[in-house]
Structure 1
Amino acid sequence: MTLIDPVLLKSRLGQQAGRFDVDALPECDSTSSELMRRAERGAPAGTVVVADRQHAGRGRRGRSWLSSPEASLTFSLLWRFPGGATRLSGLSLAVGVALARALESLGVAGVRLKWPNDVLLETNGEFAKLAGILIELSSDRRGAQIIVGIGLNLQPPPPGDLPQPAVGLSSAGVDADRHTILAAILAELAGVLDRFGETGFAGLRNAWQAYHAWQGLSVQILGDAQMLCGRCLGVDDDGSLLLETESGVERIISGDVSLRRTGGILGAKTA
């Protein structure tokens, strides 16, 4: 399989092509690490690094994300917002909306989102991970700088020590080439990030909840120090997860939790 061709990708992006500067690499440690180094050297917003293979890709909670061109699409996007990083709460959820919309435009049915940064495929009431999002933030005199890292499974990952079931686009019957897939995602990202810059996450909250895998369902939230059980009410305007428990509504602001569906509504308890 050949590298992503920036010229071919530009034709797929159409009017959005001028907003992106795409560099395709045969291999790197991680697309986000490579893009961070370029950002430190002054790379402009809209710079994209896509790699056929990465040998030190970073996922959520320090997990690795390895990639190969046949099995996955891994890339990172540099974007900037005026002001500080504190106004960017809920950004990973906004990116999830862009991914969900892009996948639906490619014909994927059953796209769902899991707080705070997973894209799932629902089949017969069961959920499996299709893509992951990792946001890295920093600030300088120019404002807030973000690097959006995305890993999308094209083929189901091999069986192994995975934290949850996983599938690929092939499982959803999509056989579009990588240029079409990447162009669809970048185009949606541009629109969503523009909206986020204007309204923050509040302007995308309803869109996220429309894709929410466990909206109104009973869940367990497992953190480092406690376990909370209750009914998932969705998210607040700042992207915080809202959980209705016997003692009231809890706002979950840390992304370092595991979310699990349960059979009924239970009260909160400590682990």
Structure 2
Amino acid sequence: MDPSLHSCQIDPARLRSLLGGASGRFTIEALRECGSTSTLLLERARQDATSGSVLIADRQTAGRGRRGRSWWSSAESGLTFSVLWRFTGGVARLAGLSLAVGVAVARALENCGVPGIGLKWPNDILLDGGKLGGILVELDAQPDGMVAVMGIGLNLLLPAAGAEEFLHRPASLSQASSPPPDRHQLLARILLELAVVLDRFAVAGFSVLREEWQAHHVWQERAVRLLNGGLLDREGICLGADSDGALLLRTAAGIERCLSGDLSLRAA
């Protein structure tokens, strides 16, 4: 047996058993270590990897977050994985996908008994205001439609001080429950909720999930600044997300829609 699989803390067979009747929708592989689960899945997508392919790594050495930031992980401190999903149609149909994934993760965490879960546009998962995890969606156009690879990372334990530069106060599941939820139970619940959410999203887009996202939106009606490359882009009152996932901001000029992936949301 490949030693990288033998020492992995996630057991695909156990995970499949927890998925029950939905196990057939997922192809699961677990690795002890890799560069980036999303990079591997994007490569496999071009080799006809099936929708529902899941790649889990105990440790990622080249994991990445939004705007190219690094996302380091270890088996002891986090849960990191990527999911490949295929959609018909063009890229416009996938507007708001990262927010939809956030809804699925929030549902899963709450179903695992974790209180205080919030969402921040466009891809942060919060716990009592601290950053619990993140979502990075990467897209690839193919002749028969679009491939989305959704990378998800959650902190089980607080990262070691000095391990990286934190732009936001970190949070971990260990702060909400001791011990934190079992990795297999948590991952199974996330995958089950993802299947439900992505099925709805494929038919009707983000609009059918918007109300639930808004209910978890922690910066609703708060004064915020939008930064672009570290410089102030605009400021106003955050109104959440539009039906296509665009950020809505009430400014002196009226209600503005913000779609740029380079914008960074900060409290005023």
Normalised to the residue count of structure 2, the TM-score between the two structures is 0.93
1:164 counterpart (156, 161, 168): 168
Matching residue of 2:236: 230
Following superposition, the deviation at residue 10 of structure 1 comes to: 1.0
Whether contact under 8 Å (2:225, 2:232) holds in the other structure is: no
Match of 2:149 in 1: 147
Deviations 1:161-190 (A, max 9, x none): 211111111111152211101001100100
Cα distance, 1:256 vs structure 2: 1.7
**1:66-103 Cα distance to aligned partner (Å, 9 max, x none):** 11101011100010011111211100000000010100
| Structure 1 gap segments, 5+ residues each | 263-271
Identical aligned residues as a percent: 55
- Which residue does the alignment assign to 1:20? 26
Partner of 2:219: 214
How many Å separate the matches in 2 of 1:256 and 1:93?
16
Structure 2: give runs of 5+ residues left out of the alignment. 1-6
**What is the deviation of 1:14?**
1.1
Specify the code of the residue in structure 2 equivalent to 1:141. P
Aligned mates of 1:20, 1:130 — CA distance in 2: 25
- Say which SS state the counterpart of residue 161 (structure 2) adopts: coil
1:169 partner amino acid: L
Counterpart position of 1:88? 94
- Out of 24-33 and 253-262, give the one that drifted further: 253-262
Cα distance in structure 1, aligned partners of 2:249 and 2:147: 31
Q: 32-41 or 19-28, which moves further after superposition?
A: 32-41
Query: Residue 122 of structure 2 is aligned with which of 111, 116, 125?
Result: 116
Amino acid at match of 2:143: R
Aligned pair partner of 2:135 in 128, 133, 136: 133
In 2, Cα distance between the equivalents of 1:198 and 1:216?
A: 30
The partner residue of 1:59 within 51, 55, 65 is: 65
AA paired with 2:204? Answer: T
In structure 2, C-alpha distance between the alignment counterparts of 1:49 and 1:260, rounded to whole Å: 32
CA RMSD of aligned residues (A): 1.2
1:137 to partner: Cα distance: 0.4
Give the residue type in structure 1 aligned to 2:200.
R
> In 1, Cα distance between the equivalents of 2:191 and 2:157?
20
Q: How many residues align?
A: 258
Counterpart of 2:52, as a letter, is G
Could you list the per-position Cα deviations for residues 89-129 of structure 1 after superposition, in whole angstroms to 9, with x for gaps in the alignment?
Answer: 1000000000101000011111000000000011xxxx110
